[in-house]
Amino acid sequence: MFLKADNIKSAHAFSTRWGGVSKLSHTADFNLAYGRGDDNDTVIRNLELFGAEAGFEPRSVVSLPQIHSDIIYKVDGRDAGQGYYICEDIREGDGYITNSSDVTLGVKSADCVPILFEAFDGDKIIAVGAVHAGWRGSVKGIAPKCVRMLCEECGADAKNIRVAIGPCIHKCCFEVGEDFLCEFTDVLGNDIAMQFISRAQTPGKYFCDLVALNKYLLTNSGVIPENIEIVDRCTCCEPEMFFSHRYSRGLRGTMLSVIRM
């Protein structure tokens, strides 16, 4: 049903595509997002099953509509349920931090990079965070922004933040074109961008390593490399285990990555 990272001590999980009740061929059987073809009751039942196994209360989850941005919110129990049980008049964004145990942070993905954060002080967990880092969010620096917010708003120290990068599309499968390369280099600068871009055999095509980019940005923000764990699974290489937007050409379910204090 889900994978975990060894370095994160808080209750957390990266869902797979198996363990739920979705019956459609493309969402079978653990789709955790509305708008993919399942009725809402099916999605909620999947969320309930996920919570029972991973150790969180389904109604505590906040998982707002994602827009491939670098928008991160500080949330608490007042935000619990938004995105699943509360769907009207809610914000949009791609990340969260909290120092409250009354809310579970949830980010959805099906190739994009889910990243979970845990800030600690000795043996005490003082805050957690979660971001959805598609390539646009990655380039905009949503991961280091989460580190900064944990430090500025929750009293964390970057060197005392553990990070887990979950299952996502890896360089082997993330082929992009010239337009992507231009936008990528416009934001990051050519010298940095080309550390994470390599030419494919097809003219005008490239492979992009979003995992390595996010690790680079995190370490530059003060996170100790040894505190970063990569769950080394490519969603596109393993469509039998994970939903992959690229592999399925958009006809797919959605996974959810969660963390709570």
In this prediction, residue 116 carries a pLDDT of 99
Mean pLDDT score, 176-200: 92
Mean pLDDT score, 155-179: 97
pLDDT tens digit string along 63-118? 999 999 999 999 999 999 999 999 999 999 999 999 999 999 999 999 999 999 99
In this prediction, residue 229 carries a pLDDT of 98
Label residues 81-99 b or e (16+ Cβ within 10 Å = b).
bbbbeeeeeeeebbbbbbb
Mean pLDDT score, 173-198: 92
The predicted model scores a pTM of: 0.98
